[in-house]
A = this chain, B = another copy of it.
């Protein structure tokens, strides 16, 4: 029983890194990265044969990965037709932002007595990236900021929910002409959000967050309206 000392505790935290493996999981990660990164555009069909060959895995293993991605909402599985990178609708955006309001709102309320150090660091990284006009990083750090905000709640399930939520949201970002720059104006608001939290003004922080999300949603929906308006004139059959 004395073996359950600090050594054991440290090792236990590392255990996950050892056990986690599995080709299917790794394939899932790769595909998720490609999809959220925009390399696999929404609407594209993911053929079992071609992708399996490209990654050097068998169809069965690939199918396990597809099932996971389908469960996360990043791809859509249509029977006997294959899996397609999901094409989000305006309704999806609305739904995603409703969820963000709920999740991040709850996180902010419980973040008053949290450790804000990592949050501040991320804000500064984002600002540095914006100063250097590295828009890709700006987007990454912006999303990371909100992920860390939720993690202050200390709930594993809220964390993974937020992670999936943001992954889906990245699908939506790709409809815009300049997805990276989209995030830039919100860095100031991230900064002020942290300031309010530091000052312990939780109510104001919640209000600021709500307005933040409403604005971002409106801006995204606007981009979607432009896309849908153009879709009727241009010929751009996603599929079906």
Contacts and interface: CB of A to CB of B under 8 A. Distances in A.
B98 A21 contact: no
Contacts of A63: 60, 64
Contact of A19 (B22, B79, B98, B156): B79
Interface string A156-168: 1110010000000
Interface string A95-118: 110110111011000000000000
A235 interface: no
Contacts of A22: 79
Interface residues of A, number: 29
Contact of A79 (B21, B79, B95, B106): B21
Nearest to A103: B102
A203 B211 CA distance: 22
Contacts of A158: 95, 98-99, 102
Interface in A8-57: 19-22, 24
26 contacts: A19-B78, A21-B79, A22-B79, A24-B67, A63-B64, A64-B64, A64-B67, A67-B67, A67-B68, A71-B71, A71-B72, A95-B155, A95-B156, A95-B157, A95-B158, A96-B157, A98-B155, A98-B158, A99-B155, A99-B158, A101-B106, A102-B102, A102-B103, A102-B106, A105-B106, A161-B161
